[in-house]
A and B are shown apart, each in its own frame.
Chain A
Amino acid sequence: MAAITLIEAVTLALGHEMAADKDVVLLGEDIGKNGGVFRATDGLQARFGEDRVMDTPLAEAMIAGISVGMAAQGIKAIPEMQFMGFMFPAFNQIVTAAARMRNRTRGRISLPMVVRMPYGGGIHAPEHHSESTEALLAHIPGLRVVIPSNPSRAYGLLLAAIRDPDPVIFLEPKRVYRIVKHDVEDNGEAYPLDTCFVDRDGTDITLLSWGAMMHETLIAADQLAKDGISCEVIDVATVCPLDMATIIESVEKTGRCVIVQEAPRAGGIGSEIAAELSEKALLSLIAPIGRVAGYDTVMPYAGMEKQYMPSVERITDEVKKAMQFS
């Protein structure tokens, strides 16, 4: 067992499933010889051939639409959008075809496909390469939206996504592609697609996050522990469907909740979680639910993205605000 990064865990999971199931086929821009712009498919074309790791013409709607057609024939299509910011030409296919094919054929046609996209800011990339628009996807009935925050979860959740008979959007937090290594055993074990991960047990407040922001959230929890504040930290991971049972159980215990997301604040996953908590756990709350989020602005270019991204300090400030209630 080797210590590997999140991106290497993605490659490992893809390779595992391609070896196990000949119906798994990857397609996307530059994913063949080049191994993808982030190297997620590094070496896979050499291993599995050009028919299973297909370099496509440069056309995102085509990548998604052809995946729908392939999946309807039982191919487990795994298209890659090079960056989430370029998914919009494909959005039509994802929303009008992928998400609803099972429903509109009353179960006759299902689409086993996983749309992989690197997402999020913090790598000083050009315009349109840094957004976090997971809420747009999580809003669409018929889709699942999954976001791993570390290498083990990337491996286990991607395997689960590939094996699921319905379309799954798999969002990879590219800022943390290479910052942590985990020992990941290539044992083919998948994680559930509707269960969040309790990373730290705590008693004073529940911190919820997903993707790259899990790292700032865990650092904030460690700092707050030194101040005597006990944080329960949950990696939401499956932002659609949300595992509200685990989240509610935690908030009922701690009575306080701060949600941390990189995406703009308004209409985000955090808004949905806060609404659910206000409906189902209001009487357990001793402080208002806090949200630490990206601003409701266009994602700034690289020069100012640091000021946009939620920081450890913004998280600890919000937690201290909540701790004033008792």
Chain B
Amino acid sequence: MPKSASFEVEYIQYLDEKAKPANDLPDFADDKDTMVGLYRSMQFVRTFDARAVAMQRTGKMRTYPSSLGQEAVGAAAGSCLTARDVLCPYYRGTATMLAHGIKPHEILLYWGGDERGSDYKDPMAREDFPIAVPIATQMLHAAGVATAIKIRKQTGRAVLTEIGEGGTSEGEFYEAINAAGAWDLGVVFLINNNQWAISVPSEAQTACETYAQKGIAAGIPSIQVDGNDPIAVKDVTGKALERARNGKGATLIEAVTYRLSDHTTADDATRYHDPKKHQQAQKKEPVARLGKYLMMRDWVKEKDLEALAADCKTEVEREVKIYLDYVENKPQPPGAMFDYLYANLPEKTLPQREEAIRRGTR
């Protein structure tokens, strides 16, 4: 029987679970500063998440989604972005957002219930989208930004967007990858397959053997990587973004990782987690894996990693202070809920604004 078409999905891994490197490492993996920097980004997210969760437990933070166990995906992918690229993050995209200049205290403000958290001040992040909470909507925004880039014939700019594996069941995910294929858009779709969509396990979400293969139906290059191997994620994402910047179209990447935390602070994963699976996943986690690699290369010692962790803690505390200063001393005035609704607030709404201001913050 003749075949109309056939496909395969590549799996990329450079550092195995025991941090044993492959023979053909990409060049950047031999660069101490790059690799130690990557480790620091991952350690920072871990520290930051732990602090945010702790603040939630003491009433200083609202619902917060931790990235515990999947720090490598965002940190490595985000490290490939330039100031000209645009990021359309999903709600567990903390690591990627931080890598693109979004400030830790901005992320805390957002999850703390303050809209100012999405008014990113860093020039690198000024065009980045705010976190998308409705699942998969950000896929289309990314395709739209890439459409604008294409229409304006801009080169050297790409768009990165992230989604969980559960989000790939949404129609808008398919509509976005389809359009990106049909129109050759310079966008990279990164699926963060952390095995859980709240309580629904990855294997119950689809009959596909991989999430990467969903991109094949959209006609775009699609690849699977070990999401706990930052070298693999950085290599694959970097190449995909470079293709996008050069007008060569979209790529879909599935990064396979594991969510070691609850879905959010409002969730209790012990209700559905299989403890054995959880323990196995723990052994593959990315921060320790990269730490082993750095030590194996003789770039750092155990105590250097400890110093680096302490340094992250200091920086997190500094950002927490900025956040708490907003919360305690600089609340938004009630008129703010009207002030950004339209460029020109309809006259009909003015009395409501006046009432909100008159009633004040009581």
Which A residues form the contact surface with B (CB < 8 A)? 25, 51-52, 56-57, 59, 61-62, 64-75, 77, 89, 92-93, 96-97, 101-110, 141-142, 144, 164-166, 194, 241-245
B337 surroundings in chain A (CB, below 8 A) = 103
Q: Are A65 and B119 in contact (CB under 8 A)?
A: no
User: Closest Cβ of chain B: how far from A231's Cβ, in Å?
Assistant: 25
**Chain A, Cβ-Cβ closest to B187:** A69
Which of A61, A65, A74, A166 lies in contact with B343, CB distance below 8 A? A166
Given the interface pairs A69-B141, A92-B137, A102-B342, the reply to whether A107 lies near B119 with Cβ below 8 Å is yes
A142 surroundings in chain B (CB, below 8 A) = 341-342
Q: Which 5 A-B pairs have the closest CB atoms?
A: A69-B144, A65-B140, A241-B346, A73-B148, A62-B175
List which B130-155 residues lie within 8 A (CB) of chain A. Answer: 130, 132-134, 137, 139-152
Q: Inter-chain contact count A-B, CB under 8 Å? A: 142
B88 surroundings in chain A (CB, below 8 A) = 69
Which B residues form the contact surface with A (CB < 8 A)? 88, 115-116, 118-120, 126-127, 129-130, 132-134, 137, 139-152, 171-172, 175-176, 178-179, 182, 336-337, 339-343, 346-349
Q: Are B119 and A106 in contact (CB under 8 A)?
A: yes
Q: Are B171 and A107 in contact (CB under 8 A)?
A: no
For this complex, 20 residue pairs linking A to B, each with C-beta atoms less than 8 Å apart, are A51-B151, A61-B171, A65-B140, A65-B144, A69-B140, A69-B141, A69-B144, A70-B144, A72-B127, A102-B342, A103-B337, A104-B118, A105-B130, A108-B119, A109-B129, A166-B343, A194-B348, A241-B347, A242-B348, A243-B348
Given the interface pairs A106-B118, A106-B119, A108-B120, the reply to whether A65 lies near B340 with Cβ below 8 Å is no
Q: Are B137 and A93 in contact (CB under 8 A)?
A: yes
User: Closest Cβ of chain B: how far from A104's Cβ, in Å?
Assistant: 5
Q: Are A93 and B115 in contact (CB under 8 A)?
A: no
A69 surroundings in chain B (CB, below 8 A) = 88, 140-148
B134 surroundings in chain A (CB, below 8 A) = 92, 96-97
**Chain A, Cβ-Cβ closest to B133:** A96
**Chain A, Cβ-Cβ closest to B150:** A51
Bound-complex Cα distance A110 to B88 (A): 15
Which of A70, A71, A245 lies in contact with B347, CB distance below 8 A? A245
Q: Are A65 and B341 in contact (CB under 8 A)?
A: no
Bound-complex Cα distance A144 to B347 (A): 13
Which of B178, B341, B342, B346 lies in contact with A62, CB distance below 8 A? B178
Bound-complex Cα distance A97 to B134 (A): 9
**Chain A, Cβ-Cβ closest to B348:** A241
Q: Are A102 and B179 in contact (CB under 8 A)?
A: no
User: Closest Cβ of chain B: how far from A194's Cβ, in Å?
Assistant: 6
B145 surroundings in chain A (CB, below 8 A) = 69-70, 72-73
User: Closest Cβ of chain B: how far from A102's Cβ, in Å?
Assistant: 5
Q: Are B140 and A166 in contact (CB under 8 A)?
A: no
Bound-complex Cα distance A102 to B346 (A): 15
